[in-house]
Amino acid sequence: MSAPARAITVRTVQLLRALFAAAAALMITFSPDHSAAVGLSVFSGFVFVSAFVLVLAAWLALAAGRRWPYVIIAVLGFAAGMISGIPPWRSDDLFFAVVVPWALLTGGIELFGGFRARRAGDPTARDAITVGAFGILLGLLLLLIPAGLVQEYSIETAGTFQLTGIILGVGIFGGYAAVVAVFLGIAGLTPRPRAEIEDENADAATALDQRDMPAAPADRGGER
């Protein structure tokens, strides 16, 4: 029974999250178009697949008492992904209206969950705290962008260009995704003490046991 449980651990989840964050960062970095349509399209795909990974983590890798941050963040991700995934709705205002609350809420939940996990002695708590802080920082930076920002600038031999609020916003989101990808990739690949690996495997085994545990029979009153 313990072998299947080892297929997915918290470190596996970190690597999967890093992979999808890297994909989002690359799509934004190499796209010449930083419009709301592109930004929300990439954001929608990113939060959807990340939410799916977190649901798998809650189901396969974590015991019951540690699942709640993953579940809440996944629900928020699915909601944000659905709203931003509707093409006719994609606008500059919607980008900030969806990404800012998502970043602040999910970042705050992951940060709080990380602090609680640290008090319980969880070795991965520091990673959750850092990623949560990155999310809050993303939300705050997006809030600082003036509404309707349009700034013209010129590059000799290239011409005159415009820097707008949405270009800044999409670029900042791409930077956030790149930082998260690097951080979680390093965290997932860093060699760990044997005791930590055993703890993760034990937690995954506990999650498996809780899923396979049969439900308690209902109380049928006076039946003998």
What mean pLDDT comes out for the span 65-90?
A: 92
Does residue 61 contact residue 10 with C-beta atoms inside 8 Å?
Answer: yes
- Structure tokens, 30: 């190499």
- Would you say residue 37 has pLDDT above 80? yes
CA gyration radius for the chain?
Answer: 21
Confidence of residue 2 (pLDDT cuts 50, 70, 90): very low
Of residues 176, 167, 182, 174, the one with CA closest to residue 28: 174
Class (C level, CATH) for 2-211? mainly alpha
* Whole-number Å distance between alpha carbons of 107 and 136: 5
- Would you say residue 196 has pLDDT above 90? no
Residue ranges per structural domain of the chain: 2-211
Query: How long, in residues, is the chain?
Result: 224
Does residue 94 contact residue 84 with C-beta atoms inside 8 Å?
Answer: yes
Q: For residue range 82-136, list pLDDT tens digits in order.
A: 999 999 999 999 999 999 999 999 999 999 999 998 888 777 889 999 999 999 9
Q: For residue range 4-31, list pLDDT tens digits in order.
A: 444 578 888 899 999 999 999 999 999 9
What rounded mean pLDDT belongs to the chain? 83
Tokens 């005159």 — which residue? 160
- Structure tokens, 184: 């979680």
Q: What local confidence, expressed as pLDDT, does residue 78 receive?
A: 96
Does residue 85 contact residue 48 with C-beta atoms inside 8 Å?
Answer: yes
Q: What local confidence, expressed as pLDDT, does residue 223 receive?
A: 45
Ordered DSSP codes for 135-158: HHHHHHHHHTSPTT-EEEEEETTT
